[in-house]
Amino acid sequence: MRFVTVVVAIGIVLSTAQGFAQEAAAPGAPAPAPQASAQVAPFPAPPFPAGARMGFIDVQQIIAESIDGKAASARVKALNDRKVAELNEKNKVLLSDQQKLQSGATVLSASAREELQRKIDRENTDIERTTQDAQKELQDLQQGLQVEFQGKLTPVIAEVSAEMGLDMVFSVSDAGLAWANPGLNITADVIKKFDSKN
């Protein structure tokens, strides 16, 4: 019986909480436009070397191309978009009140100015709390999806490894792999098997 060691560290970096924090830190700013990706014809994958006993995978590619990875990406993006829209709405109200305070500085009574300033302070506090809550909710979703994704992916990697007679599989981005024969890349095999389970 062959011993199969699977070295995998799943990291869903679809829409990270830090990225969301940057967007949410400036509510009201338009969401960044999606960047157009250059369409480059993929190189044909080299053949897997005969007799090789180890291979590697690209977890980010699995996330980007597999059915489950795309579904996880869509869930994170939907939550992120919803939270950014919520913050943008709160920010519009805040900006409107700040403009009222500035434009009415000379015509508003002292008590009206104080009340409006208190309202602005409450709105600022609400935006800060909403931002923190949104970041936490996004992190929790990502962590849950990561655990679920890893639970589904690890047995698939083990299955593909057994079928190919491999003793080890490294994650190219997580295992400190400096170089490997490109033919040892079994990512496409793992994605194919992973998607066949759906």
Domain assignments of the chain as residue spans, ordered by start: 5-22+53-196
The yes-or-no verdict on residue 14 having pLDDT over 70 is no
pLDDT of 155 above 60: yes
Range of weakest confidence among 10-14, 24-28, 188-192: 10-14
Coil, helix or strand at residue 171: strand
169's CB contacts (< 8 A; 6+ apart) are 4, 5, 6, 7, 8, 54, 55, 56, 57, 157, 160, 161, 186
pLDDT of residue 173: 79
Range of lowest pLDDT (8-12, 129-133, 153-157): 8-12
Question: What's the whole-number mean pLDDT along residues 85-114?
Answer: 91
pLDDT of amino acid 36: 44
User: Long-range contacts for 128-135 (Cβ within 8 Å, ≥24 apart)?
Assistant: 130/83, 130/86, 130/87, 130/90, 131/21, 131/24, 131/25, 131/27, 131/87, 134/20, 134/24, 134/83, 134/86, 134/87, 135/17, 135/20, 135/21, 135/24
